[in-house]
Structure 1
Amino acid sequence: MATPVFKMTAPLAGKLIVVAAVFSVAFANDAAQVDVLTKEVVALPGQSVNLLCRVSYSINFCQFSFPGITTLSNIYETENAYSNNIKYHGSGFSNGECGISIEKVDESNNGEFKCIVSPKKGERFMDPGVISVIIAKAPQRPILSPTVAGSYQIGDILQTGCIVRDGRPRANISWTLDDVPFIDGVQQLRTSESGSDLITVSQNISRRLSTTDAGSTLKCIVEHIALRPQDSVATAQINVEFKPLPQEDPLRIYGIKIGETAQINVTIYSNPLPKIDWIVDNDLVSDSSYDGSGRFHSAPMTPLGKATYNATLTISPVEREDTEKTFILKARNIRGETIYNIKISTLEEPEGVDFGAGGIVGIVIAVIFLLVIVFLLIFAKATNRWCFGDRVEHRGKPRSAGESSDTESTNEGPHARGKSAKVKNEENPESKESTPMTRQSIIPKSFNLKSLLPGGSKNKDKVGQIESGVTLDPKVEEEKPLQSKINPTEIVYAELSLGPTTVQENKPQHDRTEYAEIVYKKQPIENQMETKDVQSAESK
């Protein structure tokens, strides 16, 4: 068979070269790699260390290079693989593991260890695995620089730093103030290396001082595997000076009992220690002394820690007049003087109300809710909305046919207040045409307003003006009876104001108002003129 011949053009040759390169890279990437379990090991001198390299296939040999030694050393799967101090470590060459175990490390073992294993058949050696072994060396003791010495005043800025020199590996720094972690004002950690592999670290802090810092202990704490605890801390005490701090004026002491011995204790915040004087009834009672009467004694100042002191005045015995006095305490130091006024009382100390954060938040929410409700009510009232809009609509709604003015009031005993009566125009069934009514003809002949009043015709109360403007006249009784059927839309409302039926000297008078509905039918213009002529003739 003839061998096929391929004619390769220049572009095709270029493509094949590229493909070959890609396959070569892929093959290299798929090759086995030395796996290092731990890339860095930190140990103290005298400790044991295990170093292990591993591949995915069985190996024929294992070699290691040690720090400072350029030659390779063969490691065998025997009890004494390299020396009495170094032995093989791993599960065997068949499992692809190459490792060593150093029984006791020292300074000579500080550095890089490299492991090399046999390659697969037909392949090249892999790059060696690298393991860094750090033999720890303790740094120097930390120091504070600049030193926290001397005295400060309130508002001064404290600036200092902590330096830890020549450690291996690098040390870490943390700060505390009175054993509480100090974070604010801490700057970034800085490192520097000398000619060797030893590392120096430093860190600065700054803080604005207040009265609470007086007497506080600042600590720089170093963390390092080789540093002893007693050598890992640098401390300094902060000295903030201030005059005795003022307090509530006056200070009140409760629970004093008349006739018994009592003590007035006042806590004073001051740095340095203040000197005190008590003044009682213009008498000076110095520290550790009595007054002229011997009833008042000033005890020595008692330190309570961190610029806090207690001043005590003993009263033996307490007299009633003492509860009306004002005891004066003067405390002074190099920064100034403060005067305290003290009152004593035989009452028990009142209990304060502590709402707490949750209670305060609840109160604020309730107040805001109340303000929103008040605002909505004012807004609704001003814009005639909601319930206020219904009232306006009701007031502006015209009266319906037959609706009476005012509602009937409830009865109050035998004499009812606010009675209402309706007088209707009734049509004459025998007549086909209804007679037009005048303003005076709306009240029938047989109708008597006094009959509606309590007491009948014997009541002498006067009838007031009717809302419609019609004046009741005695001649109205001579008119004809009202027709039986009246158009409901032609009802006129009237109000009768009555005076009291009887007068009693010992009982208050009660005004009574009675209501009646007067029917008025609008008449043509011609009939109105005739009615006016009749009225004028009758008046003559």
Structure 2
Amino acid sequence: MKTGLVIIFVFGLMQALWAAQVDVVNKELLVLPGQNATFLCRVGVALQYCRIELPGGRTFNLNKQLPSNSEVSYYGNGLDAGQCGVNIHQVTEKDNGAVKCTLGIPSETAESVGTMSLIVAKAPKQPELDLSRGTDSLRVYKINDVLEASCIVRDGRPVANISWYLDDEPIDNMALRMPTVIDLAKENLQSTVQNFSRVLQPIDNGRFLRCVAFHPAYPGGHSETKRQLDVKFPPLPIEDPIDKFGYQIGKVGLINITIEANPKPRIEWTVGGQLIKEGSTDNTGRIEAEAIRDLERGRYEANLRLAAVTKQDTEVEYILTAYNDQGSQTYRIKISTSPEPEGFKKFFRQKIYGVELGVGAIVGVVVLVLFIILLVSILIFAKMTGRWCFTGGATVIDYTTGENGQPPHSDGVSGDGVDNPHHQVSSEYINGSDLPIKKDEKVDTAV
């Protein structure tokens, strides 16, 4: 009995090995519901029959001579060409899964089988974005808080891809963790989750953290969820002092400063030792501190209006103090009737976290650059002339020769080396003498 089972098993195995190898075109295909899908199995010999099995146990015997039905039709160049294919006219959810082709070859007792995978896309749910708690509040953060964010996209087929953005700026993959894919056995659906972390800075305030999911079944191909970040920080420093140009004597002057802070700061001005609160004027009524204006996303504009600029106004320092519950900052402003040196100032100005280089810093940079250029020029001059630290390395070429083509001795010093490293051959000097030759003097030269 056991021997018979072994024989049957070996015979079946041999049949499987003898079966023709099936070449499958489109081993995996992703389509949307309502689209058509085609699969093709082929071998190198003519076929006796072609049987297609769709998910759910639906089986069809197909060839070119049979008329197509509402669900499927034959696809290929015919059984004589060794091709067994199927065209599914309108794919539905029930077609998702494995499609099997079974080929009957007249010269073989074993059937040849090929398998294909049909993925019917199903849109996942809207992305879900979860943010960690801030230092003091659920949705409010401080600078240097570590933001932990998690985005999950549930129940898609196939799995969705996730991308992260701050406003429209893609987030570097170095800040992201590898996504985790969760398989759901029911309906072959998949969920994906990805985590992200970032140390928050003032520049992040007001920006939108966006989790964007990409999937072929989404309308437009993608869907997103976003959260606006609320990062608290004190007023940021600017240049010190702040230089303002282009004021005209006798005309209205406006001193405006843009402050970055969150929450909205309160301000006060000090002019000539007098304190001017926001929304009030000085004791002369000539200088007005306007109410601070919100420019959105943690940017505010503070304006000080001068009724008519005088010469004295250009000689005093204007002090602006801004403060909120995170801290305070003082800004010192000077105004001038001179035009702003735009090209010079803009070339050297840099802005880092709201801080700009002032005129003093710019002048310092220019002086440093000029000093380096001067130092390099002096070193090059010393090298070429053999002066100072380059004395021992100077090279002197003496074009005068003595008898037998040998150079004469100079200054009573013998030897083949250079007698005087400072000695340079010139039309005005001869034989090492430091006295210039007068025009009426005769000079003995070697014959």
Same fold (TM over 0.5): yes
How much has 1:32 moved relative to structure 2? 4.8
Query: For structure 2, which runs of at least 5 residues remain unmatched after alignment?
Result: 1-13, 351-367, 400-406, 416-429
Q: Aligned equivalents of 1:113 and 1:309: distance in 2?
A: 64
Q: Which residue in 2 is equivalent to 1:305?
A: 296
Find out whether 1:270 has 2:256 as its counterpart: no
Q: Which residue in 2 is equivalent to 1:237?
A: 228
1:314 to 305, 308, 327: 305
Matches within 5 A, 1:276-295: 276-295=267-286
How much has 1:54 moved relative to structure 2? 2.0
Find out whether 1:113 has 2:99 as its counterpart: yes
How much has 1:398 moved relative to structure 2? 5.4
Find out whether 1:325 has 2:316 as its counterpart: yes
Q: Which amino acid aligns with 1:100?
A: V
How much has 1:295 moved relative to structure 2? 1.5
Find out whether 1:192 has 2:169 as its counterpart: no
1:43 to 9, 31, 54: 31
Offset from partner CA, 1:218-244 (integer Å, 9 cap, x none):
000001122345982110111111111
Q: Which residue in 1 is equivalent to 2:404?
A: none
Q: Which amino acid aligns with 1:48?
A: N
For these two proteins, the number of residue pairs brought into alignment is: 382
Q: Aligned equivalents of 2:26 and 2:281: distance in 1?
A: 78
Q: CA RMSD in A?
A: 3.8
Q: Aligned equivalents of 1:208 and 1:230: distance in 2?
A: 31
How much has 1:300 moved relative to structure 2? 2.5
2:85 to 89, 99, 118: 99
Q: Which amino acid aligns with 1:139?
A: P
Offset from partner CA, 1:278-303 (integer Å, 9 cap, x none):
22233333223333322212223222
Q: Which residue in 1 is equivalent to 2:238?
A: 247
Query: For structure 1, which runs of at least 5 residues remain unmatched after alignment?
Result: 1-24, 422-540
Would the aligned equivalents of 2:132 and 2:147 in 1 still touch at CA under 8 Å? no
Indicate the SS of the match to 1:290. Answer: coil
2:121 to 132, 136, 140: 136
Indicate the SS of the match to 2:313. Answer: helix
Matches within 5 A, 1:408-427: 410-411=437-438
How much has 1:264 moved relative to structure 2? 0.3
How much has 1:255 moved relative to structure 2? 0.7
TM-score of the aligned structures, taking structure 1 as reference length: 0.63
Would the aligned equivalents of 1:384 and 1:392 in 2 still touch at CA under 8 Å? no
TM-score of the aligned structures, taking structure 2 as reference length: 0.75
Q: Aligned equivalents of 2:387 and 2:434: distance in 1?
A: 31
Q: Aligned equivalents of 1:343 and 1:33: distance in 2?
A: 87
Would the aligned equivalents of 1:261 and 1:315 in 2 still touch at CA under 8 Å? yes
Q: Aligned equivalents of 2:435 and 2:167: distance in 1?
A: 85
Q: Aligned equivalents of 1:282 and 1:339: distance in 2?
A: 15
Find out whether 1:181 has 2:185 as its counterpart: no
Indicate the SS of the match to 2:147. Answer: strand
Find out whether 1:162 has 2:151 as its counterpart: yes
Q: Aligned equivalents of 2:258 and 2:307: distance in 1?
A: 21
Larger strand proportion, structure 1 or 2?
2
Indicate the SS of the match to 2:262. Answer: coil
Offset from partner CA, 1:147-182 (integer Å, 9 cap, x none):
574222221211111011111111110000111100
Offset from partner CA, 1:132-154 (integer Å, 9 cap, x none):
11112221211122457422222
Identical aligned residues as a percent: 35
2:22 to 25, 31, 34: 34
Indicate the SS of the match to 1:212. Answer: helix
Q: 1:164 to 1:321 in 2, by over 3 A?
A: same
How much has 1:372 moved relative to structure 2? 7.5
Q: Which residue in 1 is equivalent to 2:75?
A: 89
Q: Which residue in 2 is equivalent to 1:53?
A: 41
Find out whether 1:63 has 2:51 as its counterpart: yes
Q: Which amino acid aligns with 2:85?
A: G
